[in-house]
Structure formats: structure tokens, C-alpha cells
Structure 1
Amino acid sequence: MKIHKRYISAFIALMLSVPAFAQVPAAAPKQSKPVLLKGATLHIGNGQVVENAAVGFDKGKITYAGPQSGANLSGYDVVDVTGQHIYPGLIHPNSTLGLNEIESVRATIDWREVGDLNPHVRSVIAYNTDSDIIPTIRTNGVLMTQVTPVGGTISGTSSVVQLDAWNWEDAIVKADEGIHLNWPNMLIATGNSAYDARLGRMKEQREEALNQLTSLFRDAAVYKSGKHDNENLKLASTAGLFDGSKKLYIHANYGKEIIESVNFAKQHGVKNIVIVGGQDAVAVADFLKANNIAVIYSGVHALPSRAEEDVDMPYKTPYLLHKAGVTFALDYDLSIHGIRNLPFIAGTATAYGLDKEQALASISLNTAKILGIDKQAGSVEVGKDATIVVSSGDLLDMRTNNVTLAFIQGRKIDLSNKQKYLYEKFDNKYKEEKKTPATVTTSAGN
């Protein structure tokens, strides 16, 4: 088929005319020389705050974090951030970021696999580092996320990635760190005739799902013992659950489901368990604490799950979990676009009892501990990755949050994004229109 030259020329011209803002910023190069930030208030992430502080880092690692008076400035490129605040890079758990771009376009969705039991599915290999959404999230200080599959009874394995990379291999912070289990919902009669008519069949399906889970975990335990002749990728992928090298993330909300699922996992020898969702976590806090179960709490910005609950129950749940001694982290589960609001749900929790540094820990160090990356991330401490955020205002306050600098493993990242460009574009447009009012031309007869 022949294509006319003018069409080719038009296509080339169109491609060349696409503005740079439409592209995701290129990944930053490795840190080439030592950097020292001085003069800011340092929020370490472990509850401590240092006024008039300095943070130095070299080759991607933090070399100094403390009072400015104790910093050695020799050999460092000094950046004066006086009056600003330094925070650890925020971490968002339980996310489909990079797996889902446009929900109405099937080709951009790669967050689930066919089948119900998929412990061997690796979500990270589908992670798209060129997602347009990623730069908008970095703008508010979220620099790492847990790429998590969805769907089925066992969705697959999650991995932790940093948000400035050329490809998924470069992005990995911790690969295949946990398996995600969606616990089958408990079912009760509601008085709704249409629902109750299907209740019997739904209970049968739940029982079938539990039987399948029991068979899988029993087979996995036998497989791990070495009593097999052929390799089974599905069973091999679960081995880490029994020696503690992988975590089992159980997605459950109802209190009885939380207790049932934890008991199930412990009976089958699972070492590390985390509850994801946890709307009823406060009601079973004693059980969670006694069993050393951490919670990734979803839905701070949500309505109560029951009509009889206080209207502000989701807002004060983080404080109540902290008060009960349960280790918890926060996630923003409403949409991938909303992940940028992660610091603000922590801010909401501070208005309902949680201390500001405790709230910061719930989206930084606590999350790192739960994900098993706290030796390299989650707080601004010597020896850890220099994944750092600098804000001219309070990072947890929507009104004053203004990230001016961000570093991932010591690399200064580009904070531009399409939304910033569009804001500036139209802001300038209307400013120019105000300077030059439009003139109205009338006909001679008027």
C-alpha cells in the first residue's frame, strides 16, 4: 500500500510538535558528588525532630543527619534550605500504580491475572515506569510504593519500587516481598430478599474457596519439605511464607474475618502476617497486638462501615490503633490518582488525636518496617538511602505542603509534571488577558 508523502510529512510534523511536558521526566543520573542540606527543621521519621539541622549524603547514602553545628561542610555541595523542612521520602503500600493507567482503556490495565490462586504471579514485571501518574505523585513527597496485584483469592506477589527509574528492574527496592490473599467474605442474611435468595450459593462458593486455600497451603508445606519430584512454580513461590522471608498480606476488613484469616495462616505455619484494609482493626486490636500482627489501614478518608459508628471513626482509627499498641501504616486506596494525597490522610489523623511525628511515621518508617525495607528507607538516618523530601511548608498539611526538592537514593529528581505545566500555561494565559482587555467593535449604526 502506498502512502502519500504529504501524509508522512504531516505525521512527522505532528510528532515533532508534541511538547516536552507530555513526556515523563527522564530518570535522574546517579549522584556524582556529596550534597549537604543545611538550615532546615529535620523530621527524622522515628518521632524525633531536630531544629536548625543538616543532612549530608554521598553515593546515594546518608552520611550525616543532625544539628547543623556538628556537620562537616568540607567537600560537600552545600544547599541552604533555611526555614524549610526535611522529611524521609514517603512510602505508599498496597498500590496498583504503574499497573493501571486509564481504567476505560483495557490495554493500559495489567493489575490482575486469570484464575483464583496465583501466588507465583509477579506484579513488578508489569510495572510501567513511564506512567504519567508517577510524576504527579512525587510532587507531594511520595517516592516509593508497593506494587500490588488484585483479584482472585490469591492475587500474586508484590514488590517495593522507587519512583524514578528507566525500567522495572532499576526501580526495584525489594522484589517479591509478599503474597496477597483476599480473604473470602463472611456472609449473613440481610433481609433483602434478592440478596438472601443467593445467599446459599454464595456460602457454598465461600466454602469452596476456603477448601482450595487449605489444599494449597498443605501442598505448599509438603513441597517445601522437599518431598516432590517435579518443580511446581506455584508451590515454590510460597516457600518464603514458612521461613519468614515473605509476608502474607491478608486483605480483610470485618473483625471476625480478621481473626479467622490470621488463625488460618498461623495454623499452616505462616510466619509473618499483615492485615490490609482493617476497617474493624480497632475492635480486634488486642488480638492483633497479642499475635504481633501489623495493619495497613485503608480508608481514613471514608465513611464509617456501620451506621451505628461515630461519623469520624475512620479519622480517629489511626490514633486508636497507636493507643492500642498496634503497628500500622496508612494507604490511600480510593484511586491511584489519589496516592498524591497520602500525606494529607496522615494530616487528617493528626486532627483526631495522632501526634504529627507519629503520623509521619505511619507513612514512612512504619511502612518501611512492615514492608521489610526499614534498614535502607523510612527515616533520615546515617547509612540509609538518601531518599529525602524538602518542603517549604508542613508536608502533612494540604494548605502549606510545597515540595521544593526531592532526592531518591541521592539522585535529585525532576518535580515537573503535566498538571504543573497546564496550571502555569493557563495561569499565564489569564494573566495576559487581564493585562490586555479585549476590545469590543460595534457597527456604525450602533
Structure 2
Amino acid sequence: MRTLLSSLLLPLLALPAVAHDLIPATAQSRDLLLRHATLYTVSQGTLEDTDLLLHDGRIAAIGKQLAAEGAEEIDASGKRIYPGLIALDSHAGMVEIEMARPTRDIADVGLNNAELRAASAFNPDSEIIPTLRRNGISHVQLVPEGEAMAGQSALVGLDSWTVEQALVPSRMGQHLYWPELGPLASDDEERSKQLKEHDDALRQIRTLFADAKRYALGIKAGDKIAQQRNLAAMAPLFDDAATLFIHVDREQHIEEALKLCREYQLKPVIVGGYDAWRQAASLNELGARVIYASVFSLPQRSDEPVDLAFRIPALLSDAGVPFAIGYSGDWDSRNLAFAAGYAAAHGLGQDKALRAITLDAARLLGVDDMGALEVGFRGNIIVAEGDILDPMSGRIEALFIDGRRVDLNNRQQQLYQKYLKK
């Protein structure tokens, strides 16, 4: 309730600071035919000198010399067309100014807030959103934060009047933040205290899941049980009707998390996942997946290569672990393609890197009509001059969300134009 109230009050308290003045595009009313482009389809390779037809918000045809009576035609010769990018593990639209607490609505107090929905705190008028669109991001996975069970994520498009218009149907996701033990103190007493606190935190999580499982079984059996919304919200996890996203990085703690998943027969998604490649066999055994969100992190151990964080996506790929690349944060989610480019240059390759921020990201969220240029898929496309994984040469010219051409103007661009005239 606190999260909901704060999301309602936020626009009233800080309207001048958080509302951009760009008007959302109207629904596609006329067919659009882009001709002679290079299509990076993700799912079917690269197609040179190929046409793409958008009809009623979806990709209607792909081929050479397409015909569409009455369609608006755009000569895309020399241009590249990509699927819209999906930013996983993002707070975009939930945070406006990081250092201003009234504009941050990403977390609530307590160990179990499974009933809370990140979408209730989403501000579609955030000034941050246009900057993400300018970098090719059409959708973000809104993710809450918390002590343990933080709540439910949502997939939203970045061009809408309301939250309801922004929401994209996707598989329910519950987010668990695993307690991670920092460097142990040299003092015996202090070290024992750290270990005890960690054990207590693990015990609380085990108790939380045991309570939720009993609650779910009781409801199924028709027992008369007092309603507990947070436990009820966790019930879909045990029927494989929801995905458990576990935010954890270190190998020891990934092991702890996977032990819990084995006990309750869960197929988790590890978020962060700095050490996930070290647990590849266990992850594959469980059918787990990874959102690797640490491409630009520093080495976490003194004896690690300085470029290890860049190479981890390639290590996951080589180990056969299904993964996508994310970029944790809010405004900095705009760097998603840049991160994928670094992974591509450090062993992953261009095709897999692009797939990790498009099709693999969509499938990880349970969405089967996004993330690729395929007939029948949503018309989420990027038109660029160059390689979008290279921020120096990408030069995105247009972004379409569900066939609607989105305004790529933003606050930074306005300021740039303003001071050019000084």
C-alpha cells in the first residue's frame, strides 16, 4: 500500500521535475514499408537489401520487392534494421533523481513483499524514458528491490500515456534478493558475528518459503486459512506458473540459492550472476537461466583478470547456460547496447550479443512475439546507420514500438540544441 500511495503522490509532489513533454505516438493506422535495408533478424540471420512491412502494429512481411497498396514507403537503402532492445533488471520510470528520496520508489520494508507490483510505481512521463529510447531501448523489465522477497516485475513499453497502456503480457516474475556475505573480518569475534547474521538471514528465507508452501497446499486442499496476500502471491512459484528471479553474484551464495530451488523444484533465473559460469553444471541441471548484469563491473577477486567481467557472457555461452544481458539501474540502462558490444568483442560475438538483449531477453520473460524480426512479431524495430552495439557508429535514426514511430527527442538533446545557439 505504501508503494502504491507513493506512486500516486509522486507526480503531485514533483511534477515539474519528472514529466517530459513528448506526446506518445498514436496507433499505426497505415501500413509502413521500409525498403532495401539490411535486416538483423536475430532469429534468421542477416538479410541484405530486404524490405520489411509493418501492418497494424506487427511485422506483416519480410522479403524482396514487397508490394503493399496504400502503404507509406521509406527508402532505407544503406540503413540497418534491428529489433527493439529489451533492458532487463531496470528501475527506469521508478527512479527520477537517484539522490532525491521522494523520486525513488523501488523498495518497501519487510522480508516478504511478494504481493507488491513494480508496475504500480511506473511513471510513463519520466524524463529518463526518452533517453533510453534514443539508445534503441523499446521495453524494460521493471524490477523492485528489497531485503528478501521484493515483489513482482513487469515488462513495459516506453511510449504510452498510462501504465496500463505500457504493460506487455509476460510471465509472472517474483524477485528474491539473496543475502550475500561480504569479506570476513580478521577478528574472530567479528567474523563469528558476520557468519551468524548470514545464517540467520538464510534461516529467515527458508522459513519464508516453508510458510508459503504450506499456505499454497492449504489453499489447494480447501482449508479455511486467513488470507495473507504476500504468501498467496508466492503460490504460483510452486505450480511453475511464475519465475523466481534470484539476485545473487558470488559462487557460495549461488550454491545456497540453488539448494533452495532443488528443495522446491524451482527453475530460477539468476540475476547479476558474476560467478554463475562457475556453477554452470548445477544451473544446467536445474534448467536455470541467467541475467548477466555485470559486464562493466570490476574484478571481484584480486587474482582475477581485469577483463573477466567482459568475458563472462562468452563463458556462459560456452558452458551452454541460457542467458541474457541486462543492465541494472535506471538512467544508465541506456548503456545496454554498449555492454553487449563489450561482451561481443570479448568472445561472445556480434550475433549472440545482439540476441542476448533482444530475443533471449524476451523469451526469458515468457514473451514469444518480441525480440526478433519475424512475421507476426510485434513491430518493435530500430533503424540505424551503423552497428548499434557500437555507440560511436550506431546513430539510431528511428524507433518503432508496435508499429508506432516514437519521438526520439529528449532533455539532453534539447539542452544540446539550446546551447548551440548561445
Equivalent positions of 1:108-147 (< 5 A) are 108-147=103-142
1:161-240 to 2 correspondence within 5 Å? 161-174=156-169, 177-186=172-181, 189-191=184-186, 195-196=190-191, 198-230=193-225, 231-240=227-236
Question: Is the aligned partner of 1:42 residue 2:39?
Answer: yes
In the alignment, the residues of structure 2 paired with residue 346 and residue 253 of structure 1 have an alpha-carbon distance, to the nearest angstrom, of 19
Distance in 2 of aligned mates of 1:275 and 1:265: 11
Which residues in structure 2 correspond to 1:36-435 (within 5 Å)? Answer: 36-46=33-43, 48-66=45-63, 69-174=64-169, 177-186=172-181, 189-191=184-186, 195-196=190-191, 198-230=193-225, 231-270=227-266, 272-333=267-328, 335-373=329-367, 375-429=368-422
Q: Displacement, 1:70?
A: 4.7
After superposition, the Cα gap between the structure-2 partners of 1:47 and 1:353, relative to the gap in structure 1 and judged at 3 Å, is farther
Q: What is the alpha-carbon root mean square deviation over aligned residues?
A: 2.1
Structure 1: where are the runs of 5+ without partners? Answer: 1-18, 430-446
- After TM superposition, the score normalised by the length of structure 1 is 0.86
Kindly tell me: are residues 324 and 200 of structure 1, through their superposed partners in 2, closer, same or farther at Cα, counting changes over 3 Å? closer
Q: Distance in 2 between matches of 1:226 and 1:124?
A: 32
What is the distance in 1 between the residues matched to 2:161 and 2:22? 10
- AA at the equivalent of 1:252: V
| Paired residue secondary structure (2:276) | coil
Which sits farther off after the overlay, 417-426 or 173-182? 173-182
Q: Secondary structure at the match of 1:296?
A: strand
TM-score when scaled to structure 2? Answer: 0.91
Contact 1:217–1:268 (CA<8 Å) still a contact in 2? no
Instruction: Say if 2:35 and 2:75, in contact at 8 Å, map to a contact too.
Output: yes
The alignment partner of 1:238 has SS state of helix
- Number of residue equivalences: 406
Distance 1:395 1:188 in 2: 39
Aligned counterparts, 1:13-32, within 5 A: 23-32=20-29
Answer whether contact 2:179 2:198 (CA < 8 A) is retained: no
* Residue type of the alignment partner of 1:395: I
Q: CA deviation at 1:200?
A: 4.8
What letter matches 1:381 in structure 2? E
Task: Give the secondary structure class of the aligned counterpart of 2:271.
Answer: strand
In structure 2, the CA distance between the partners of 1:58 and 1:310, relative to structure 1 (3 Å rule), is same
Query: Structure 1 residues 195, 34: closer, same or farther in 2, change over 3 A?
Result: farther
Amino acid at match of 1:189: L
1:186 offset after TM fit, Å? 4.4
Displacement of 1:22 after TM fit? 7.4
Assess, with a 3 A threshold, how the Cα gap between structure 1 residues 361 and 224 changes in structure 2: closer, same or farther: farther
> Larger deviation: 142-151 or 222-231?
222-231
* Counterpart-to-counterpart distance in 2, 1:221 and 1:36: 51
Q: Distance in 2 between matches of 1:381 and 1:39?
A: 17
The corresponding residue for 1:432 is: none
Task: Identify if the C-alpha distance between structure 1 residues 192 and 342 changes in structure 2 by more than 3 Å, giving closer, same or farther.
Answer: farther
Structure 2, gaps ≥5 residues long:
1-15
> How far has the Cα of 1:338 moved from its partner?
1.1
Partner AA of 2:409 in structure 1: S
Greater C-alpha Rg: 1
Secondary structure, aligned partner of 1:353: helix
